[in-house]
Structure 1
Amino acid sequence: MLRRLATVFLFTTLLILLTQPPPAASTVVLCHLNESSALLRFKHSISKFLFPGALSSWQGNGSDCCRWQGITCHSVTGFVIKLQIPYVTDGHIVGSIDPSLFELKQLQLLDLSGNGFNGSIPKRLLELTNLTHLDLSDCRFTGQIPEELLGMTWLISLNLSMNDYSVGLQLQRPNLTTLLKRLDQLQHLQIGDVEVSMSGRDVSTALLSSPSLQKLKTLSLSNCIIVGPLLEEPFLHMQSLSHLDLSFNNLLGTFPPNIFLLPKLETLYISFNIELAVLLPPRNLTRSVNIRHLLLSSIGELSDGPLVPSNPPSQPRLEVTSNTMNGSTLSSCTSTRISVRNLSSGNPPGLIPEGLCSFSHLINLTLAHNSLNGTIPTCFSCLSSLEWLDLSYNHLSGSIPSSLFTLPSLILLDLSYNMFSGSLPKFYNPSSNLTILLLDNNLLSGDISFFMHGLPSLAVATLSSNNITSIICPFYLSRQKTLKYLDLSNNRNLRVEMSDSNNNTSMMNPSHNNTSMMNPSQLEYLNLRSCDIQSFPTFICELGKLQFLDLSSNNIEGKISACLWGITGFRLLNLDHNKFDGFQEPTNTTRAIGARLSLLSVSSNRINGMIPTFLCNYIAESVKLDMSNNALTGAIPDCLCKVSHLNLSNNQLQGQIPNGFNNIQLIDLNSNILTGTIPKSIASNITSLKSLNLGNNKLEDAFPGWLSQLTKLKVLVLRSNRLYGPIFTIANSLQAFPALKIFDISSNHFSGTLPHELFEGLKAMMQNGSEDIYVDNDVFSAVYVFHLFNVSTYFLLQGEIEQTIKGNDRPITSIKGPMNIVDMSNNNFTGEIPEEIGRLKYLHGLNVSNNHLKGLIPNSFDNLLQLEWLDTSHNQLSGPIPEGLADLTFLSILNLSYNDLQGRIPQGKQFSTFDESSFKGNPKLCGAQIEKTCYTGGDGDKEAMNKRDEEMQGWKYGSLGIGFAVGLMIITLPLVFVESVANWFWDETDKMIEFLLMQIGPSKFGKRRNT
């Protein structure tokens, strides 16, 4: 009875327990307060660098941290076991990892990739004894990988790749061998860009000694400085390997062919091993290969070879870039062999090998930059799985096969920069997926409108620099419902319809007389640069979604159409290098265009008169405005002070510079007729202004020393004005002009000495800075590309900068890379050249000519190893030319003329390239360059020998005379004692000696008087 009751009781209890609802999830996974606090402290340590909205769920208001972004907690204990916050910072250096992170003792997975952590990898990671997956890739860690990290023997996955922002990481002490031995549980190892510095044989040996060799699934050793051949043996034991990356090394010999047959290998990257020979399996064995992603760009040789059959096939993915290819021709897709040989960049150009067609499941094929010639094989039509085909930058010719446009999976086709000719292909049943078509820089012709109409999914089309002759008008554009980007620039014979034509519309489709209105164009980018357009195409104003328009470098006359100001989405409008003579003033004053406009360029036209004030209604604070190289007159409107970049150079503007600048980044008012002083409002925001060019005006003011506090000012040009007084700075001498790269105050009335503190502050010229000043000649299309991919970018619109070189003003219109210049010529400076200039070791040009400088050329100039031109002419410099100047290998222009330099001109090396004009006007110089021998050393010895020869020649004639006199005296000696005869003898002897001295004297002393 009791047993029955006990059984009933247990059954009832169990039934009650089973029918109870499960506990709420929040009661199980509610995170621990100490871990929540640690996470908040970690967030605070990087809060200044977080992207907007990143980690916004991390709040300290009692919320459950297990629900925060990137956090995973254990379902029972509530401990944080996963922290995954990749790429949450903005790219700036964050600093070291905050110690609060190491309080998460139960952490199993840590992913901090793509953030700006720097310094050494923290040794305290060893405290996380439950951590099995660690990803610190794409950070900024440097130095040797700590040995403590190798003590984490429980690691399953380790990713330290892409830490190469400066010196990067090293794996040398301990090395790769030690790592593979100690981390015996590893399945995924990615250390790309880590400096391993081992031979291929040693890497193979290290793999062979690894206890986890058979467990490895991922091995990435890209760009690890591995040199020499690999051994095949360790790879044959890697039966679990699915991803192998050995690209960007210097592997030699033959790549072990049986690696292709590893049963689980799906991804193989061995690109950019330019001397590596690779054997591909012949077609009858490709079904034994399971590789899906195969990248073979820039290798030494690629060919088929005998491989052992393995498992059934899987689709490969191939990329072959930067190679020169030769191969045998296969007649069809069913050919039985692959022959792809000699893919090294140095081999002779060849044909596209048809053997590639045997990869019937190919997804990505890139053969760019290979010097390939001939035609595209017809068998490419068999690549039905192909999604990406890039044959750009070759010498391919002939017609484009229409079959390419019918590949069902094709998304991108890039045939740009080749020699394809003939009409654009006609095709039937086109690919419904082709989205990006790049055919620019070929010799194609034909009707683009019908061609593009057959591609219903086309979004991007570039056909610039061809011979396209078809008509472009709204009707054609309206038929492209998906087209957003169209580049037809540099087609000089392109016919552009000025406005929508009902005749054209009815001709093409009589039932649709207003097609462009029924199907509004989706076009956002239109480039018609350099198409020899004569009149403004007003149909553009019907493209309501247009954001980027380039009509530059045409021959468009008349006024700039007012209809442009009604397109609300404009971002960039480029009308420069035309024949516009003014603006049509819009009737609607609503601010439409300016809401998103970032660049407006009307430079190099014929626009005259005053700057129209209505522009102020359409220009926002972020606009880059370029109205340079016109015939504008009058004063500069105050409203233009609000733009971010202002270029009004090379006009005829008058009056004073406005005083209302705020956050402007660039001001170029060069070559106008501006008067008055330089307004201090320019420096109202010391962190905004980057370039200031006020040269070639009539400004009268003292040197604006207050500009020295601008921390980002890179260009300062004040040349050819009426500025006066000494040069001074108001910032600390070590902080004055810290970012300046171009400093030009030439042709003014400045006086005093060259200040030492000025050159001590030019820090940007003392180091090789990463932010270079440049002129981007194709800003327009570049900005759109960045816009497409939602990538922020910065463009510094820069006008011409003149530099005085050997007395001639030369414009610098394109500064590619760093260019550091100091020009203080044509002033009234006195004193000596400061030694501190020698500290500007990245200085490229120095001009202090036409002043009143004295003293020596500093020996510290030996340190100016990047110097390209030096002009110290027309001063009163003295002393020798420093020998070290001859070692400046980049020095191509030198002018030391018209000083008081003396001594021997340095010989050889760079100085052998300079002629007499570099040294004339220095009478005390000697040397081969001026064909004047020196007294001592080298050519000086030759001159000394010549002098001695001349003196010996004089004594030769004297000796003959003396010998004659002695002989005569011996004969007549007895007569001396006769008084009458003696008087006559001594008179004649005196005359003889006087004659001899006259003969010797001029030859010995005359040349010295003439030197």
Structure 2
Amino acid sequence: MQLKSSLLETSNTNAFISWEANKSMCNFTGITCNSDGFVTEIELSYQNLTGVLPLDSICHLQSLEKLSFQSNYLHCPIMDHLNNCVNLQCLDLSNNNFTGCSVPADMSSLSQLQYLYLNESGFSGTFPWKSFQNMTGLVHLSLGDNLFNPFSFPKEVLKLTNLTWLNLSNCSIQGTIPAEIGNLKELINLELYLNNLTGEIPVEIGNLLNLSWLDLSDNSFTVTGKLPAGLRNLTKLEMFDASRNYLEGDLFELSFLNNLVSLQLSDNKLSGHVPAELGEFKKLEILSISRNSFTGPLPQKLGSRAEFYIIDVSKNYFTGPIPPDMCKQGTMRYLLMLQNNLTGEIPASYANCSTLRFFKVNNNSLSGIVPAGIWGLPNVYTIDIALNYIEGPIASDIKNAKSLAQLFAANNRLSGELPAEISEATSLDSIQLNDNELSGSIQQLPTFLTSFLISNNRLTGKIPSTICNLSLLQILDISNNSLSGKIPKCLGNFSDSLQVMDFRMNNFYGTIIDTFAKVLDLGNNNINDLFPHWLEALTTLRVLVLKSNRFYGPTGNHNISGIFFPKLRILGLSQNEFNGLLPRNYFENLNAMMIEEEGNRENIPLGMQFGTFENSSYDGNLGLCGFPLSIKCSTSDPLPPPLPLIFEEDNDSIFASGFGWEVMLLGYGCGFLVGLAMGCIVFRRGTPQWLLRPDEYQSSKHLGDLGDLPRDSNNEDRFQAQLVLQWSITVIAGSGPHQTSLHYAESANVRQQDELHDFEHEKDLDNYQEGSLQTLHISGSGFQRKCRAVHEQGDEKAMQREIDDLKRQLRRAQ
């Protein structure tokens, strides 16, 4: 009853309803007694209990063999009275809230203990390993997910030869896995993930012939070497996870493990071919070997005898066709084969894979027509076939894809019209069909669309009025087509959502629309209007491009005072009919300005940044005059005053010390505008960070390990570089330590100099997935092979959750 009084007041529980003083304890919920009426078990797991466990009274029960309070909210302190429970055989305090508590320093009297579960309870401090010297009968030991002080693999544990279950995951183990691990020959479950283990997996692990579960993943990429020769002996192994380490060599040792249900080896340095024997495994449900250096073809029988649930072979160097039978059993949910060198057509068999949720084969060399049924898979969430050589139309049965949210098919050879039935795929959120050969007009689009990219196609006709129904639209890129007519005024009403509008290189005419976008590109159209002065006060606008239109009149507006494009970073005004002065207020926040070519007649503002350029930097700007050019302005043209200090000493993390300015001016003259897609644009993760000031960043991100960068001789704490890699990849960066990889790298520009086959730094580009790279620009025709996009972390997290769920199912089955 003392247990009830200690926990009842602080807990919202029904566990003690039957605990009444006039009843026998043996009839209480959670209490078990022996034939003599003595309490042997207290089982109160999952009872929403909160408070301090009164071990002083509990351990007076001398017959107590089991004490289980798993998954409650118990907290500190843990009393030393635990040592009085001398007959205890099972102690389970896992999944509680003992944050800040240490495990009692002396548990040596618990010599009868067979099952000890303290995992995921928030314990810290030094664990009393010496107590195990008396616990020779331990069968299960689970201490994972606690913040113990760092320790080497405890020798006391290596003497517990009766252990069948050992969980020391995420509890600060460091050093090597000792060879003596091979002495624990009864082990069925061994979990050592999320520690700081180093060195190779010992050969002696092959002595654990009963092992069914082996998890060595996430050891800070410090578990090295090859898969040990003895691994082939573990023929009972069902789950093997060594992901995110530094393993190398091939998979030959796994050829013998035909009971595997889950094999996860992603993010290592493994190489060679995938053994053909894996195609014969009948139980395999999860195969995740992404981000390694595997080569050769995948076994064509892969999945033909297994009920595959997840296969992820992404980001390797696999060649040959996609195995046709991986969804033969109708259980596949994740098919991830992106960024390889796979060839051939997508097998028609996958059109029947109704369970499929993620179909991602982008960045390969696939060809042919997409089997019609794939467009209309009923449960698919993502279809990503981008950056291949796929031909043919988008089939009308896409209307059946009621769960489809993301359709990525950019950089292919798709042709025909956009089917009207696409509007019936009502869950579609993002459509990327840019850089194809689509023709016809834009049809009605799904109502909940947030991103629609269909640039660089052969579309004609007008923007349909139904686009006014897309109230959630954030990104609209219809550039480089042959669209005509007026831009619908309704797009100016999407002030709460629409951020990017790219209408350039079409045949639009009329006047400019009201907009609250962050990026507005109307370049290369026939828009006839005055300079849109009302845009000056917008607090969101980062990029404004009006080049190559029929805009006219002065850019200065003397009727507005105090606010002049407060967030503007890029301004393009060339090839119009503007006149008068360029107001210096426009340039307080700019990182780049394009005013080349004839047509405009403006004076160039004075200031340190402009003063760093030679005449050649302004080639083609025949209407410009004034310092630093040798062409003098006429006396009738008053010179603007110098730029304010904020502009002269711009602190933007990308364009340091004037370097970025000259690159931007020259680059645009070569045919591309940094910040807007000429070849391949990626706006998958919100607002590009290169449009933000340094004080808007929260943390630094890395862009792969590309070596040391030249230092700025004028500032030892900053670097600046135009890094030219193979095929002229240009990275503009700034504000980071010189000895590290690129920090704050926001844009990479690729111009074709040769046919791209294998890009030697593409592994470095994989590191963009959590970085700040937002736009990748490719200029030059015919380059459609290896455009790297920012990786969708959401897909991987969703897959990992499903893997974890499957692991829990496997645990329960053990």
1:608: Cα distance to partner?
Answer: 7.7
CA distance in 2 between counterparts of 1:602 and 1:556 reads 12
Equivalent position of 1:623 in the other structure: 498
1:145-190 deviation line (CA, Å, top 9, x unaligned):
xxx96776579748799x9xxxxx9x9xxxx9x7551689984155
Structure 2 alignment gaps of length 5 or more: 21-46, 59-68, 83-91, 111-115, 596-601, 609-626, 629-638, 657-673, 703-709, 723-736, 743-814
Residues 609 and 180 from structure 1, CA distance in 2 versus in 1: closer, same or farther, beyond 3 angstroms?
same
1:443: Cα distance to partner?
Answer: 3.7
CA distance in 1 between counterparts of 2:741 and 2:271 reads 41
Equivalent position of 2:543 in the other structure: 668
1:657: Cα distance to partner?
Answer: 2.5
1:688-747 deviation line (CA, Å, top 9, x unaligned):
x86554465768576659x99xxxxx97767977697999xxxxxxxxxxxxxxxxxx99
Corresponding position: 1:356 with 2:254: yes
Output aligned runs, 1:255-270, within 5 Å.
Answer: 255-258=179-182, 260-261=184-185, 265=189, 267-269=191-193
CA distance in 1 between counterparts of 2:269 and 2:375 reads 38
Equivalent position of 1:553 in the other structure: 435
Equivalent position of 1:487 in the other structure: 384
The one-letter amino acid of 2:250's match is L
Task: Give the TM-score normalised by structure 1.
Answer: 0.47
> Does the aligned pair in 2 maintain the 1:607–1:631 contact within 8 Å?
yes
Residues 629 and 259 from structure 1, CA distance in 2 versus in 1: closer, same or farther, beyond 3 angstroms?
farther
CA distance in 1 between counterparts of 2:144 and 2:560 reads 56
Corresponding position: 1:868 with 2:716: no
CA distance in 1 between counterparts of 2:592 and 2:497 reads 23
Q: Could you tell me the percent identity over the aligned residues? A: 13
Corresponding position: 1:572 with 2:451: yes
CA distance in 2 between counterparts of 1:465 and 1:651 reads 32
1:759-799 deviation line (CA, Å, top 9, x unaligned):
89999999xxxxxxx9798998884xxxxxxxxx6333867
CA distance in 2 between counterparts of 1:192 and 1:411 reads 34
1:594: Cα distance to partner?
Answer: 0.6
Aligned residues: 595
1:318: Cα distance to partner?
Answer: 0.6
Output aligned runs, 1:676-691, within 5 Å.
Answer: 676-677=556-557
Corresponding position: 1:220 with 2:144: yes
Equivalent position of 1:319 in the other structure: 241
Corresponding position: 1:613 with 2:488: yes
Corresponding position: 1:528 with 2:409: yes
CA distance in 2 between counterparts of 1:260 and 1:612 reads 73
1:411: Cα distance to partner?
Answer: 0.5
Residues 485 and 816 from structure 1, CA distance in 2 versus in 1: closer, same or farther, beyond 3 angstroms?
same
Corresponding position: 1:388 with 2:268: no
Corresponding position: 1:109 with 2:80: no
1:484: Cα distance to partner?
Answer: 3.8
1:574: Cα distance to partner?
Answer: 0.8
Residues 182 and 762 from structure 1, CA distance in 2 versus in 1: closer, same or farther, beyond 3 angstroms?
farther
1:430 corresponds to which of 322, 328, 337: 328
The one-letter amino acid of 1:459's match is R
- CA-atom RMSD, angstroms? 6.2
CA distance in 2 between counterparts of 1:405 and 1:235 reads 39
The one-letter amino acid of 2:275's match is P
> Does the aligned pair in 1 maintain the 2:523–2:545 contact within 8 Å?
yes
1:412: Cα distance to partner?
Answer: 0.8
Residues 130 and 664 from structure 1, CA distance in 2 versus in 1: closer, same or farther, beyond 3 angstroms?
farther
> Does the aligned pair in 2 maintain the 1:190–1:221 contact within 8 Å?
yes
1:458-515 deviation line (CA, Å, top 9, x unaligned):
2322222333332237x434664444432222222x2213776xxxxxxxxxxxxxx7
2:473 corresponds to which of 586, 591, 597: 597
> Does the aligned pair in 2 maintain the 1:268–1:291 contact within 8 Å?
no
Corresponding position: 1:584 with 2:525: no
- 1:256 aligns to what SS in structure 2? helix
Which stretch shifts more, 774-783 or 455-464? 774-783
CA distance in 2 between counterparts of 1:649 and 1:135 reads 62
CA distance in 1 between counterparts of 2:650 and 2:172 reads 42
> Does the aligned pair in 2 maintain the 1:585–1:614 contact within 8 Å?
no
Residues 678 and 651 from structure 1, CA distance in 2 versus in 1: closer, same or farther, beyond 3 angstroms?
farther
Residues 259 and 722 from structure 1, CA distance in 2 versus in 1: closer, same or farther, beyond 3 angstroms?
farther
- 1:452 aligns to what SS in structure 2? helix
> Does the aligned pair in 2 maintain the 1:460–1:486 contact within 8 Å?
yes
2:688 corresponds to which of 767, 774, 796: 796
Equivalent position of 2:758 in the other structure: none
The one-letter amino acid of 2:720's match is E
> Does the aligned pair in 1 maintain the 2:398–2:421 contact within 8 Å?
no
> Does the aligned pair in 1 maintain the 2:718–2:738 contact within 8 Å?
yes
Residues 724 and 423 from structure 1, CA distance in 2 versus in 1: closer, same or farther, beyond 3 angstroms?
closer
Equivalent position of 1:444 in the other structure: 342
Equivalent position of 2:118 in the other structure: 188
The one-letter amino acid of 1:433's match is T
- 1:356 aligns to what SS in structure 2? helix
CA distance in 2 between counterparts of 1:680 and 1:159 reads 62
Structure number with larger C-alpha Rg: 1
1:222-250 deviation line (CA, Å, top 9, x unaligned):
897847x5343334349596522158864
> Does the aligned pair in 1 maintain the 2:394–2:418 contact within 8 Å?
yes
> Does the aligned pair in 1 maintain the 2:314–2:336 contact within 8 Å?
yes
Task: Give the TM-score normalised by structure 2.
Answer: 0.56
> Does the aligned pair in 1 maintain the 2:70–2:93 contact within 8 Å?
yes
Residues 388 and 75 from structure 1, CA distance in 2 versus in 1: closer, same or farther, beyond 3 angstroms?
same
Task: Say which structure, 1 or 2, has more relative contact order (CA 8 Å, 6+ apart).
Answer: 2
Corresponding position: 1:409 with 2:331: no
The one-letter amino acid of 1:490's match is L
The one-letter amino acid of 1:584's match is K
The one-letter amino acid of 1:675's match is T
CA distance in 1 between counterparts of 2:121 and 2:180 reads 22
Equivalent position of 1:1008 in the other structure: none
1:70-102 deviation line (CA, Å, top 9, x unaligned):
x77854799xxxxxxxxxxxxxxxxxxxxxxxx
CA distance in 2 between counterparts of 1:575 and 1:350 reads 43
CA distance in 2 between counterparts of 1:182 and 1:869 reads 60
CA distance in 1 between counterparts of 2:206 and 2:646 reads 74
CA distance in 2 between counterparts of 1:319 and 1:244 reads 15
Equivalent position of 1:826 in the other structure: none
- 1:451 aligns to what SS in structure 2? helix
Residues 645 and 679 from structure 1, CA distance in 2 versus in 1: closer, same or farther, beyond 3 angstroms?
farther
Output aligned runs, 1:490-509, within 5 Å.
Answer: 490-492=387-389, 494-497=390-393
> Does the aligned pair in 2 maintain the 1:703–1:723 contact within 8 Å?
no
Corresponding position: 1:751 with 2:642: yes
- 2:153 aligns to what SS in structure 1? coil
Residues 454 and 691 from structure 1, CA distance in 2 versus in 1: closer, same or farther, beyond 3 angstroms?
same
Equivalent position of 1:251 in the other structure: 175
1:251: Cα distance to partner?
Answer: 1.6
CA distance in 2 between counterparts of 1:357 and 1:399 reads 16
The one-letter amino acid of 1:577's match is N
Residues 366 and 570 from structure 1, CA distance in 2 versus in 1: closer, same or farther, beyond 3 angstroms?
same
CA distance in 2 between counterparts of 1:891 and 1:444 reads 31
1:629: Cα distance to partner?
Answer: 4.5
1:389: Cα distance to partner?
Answer: 0.1
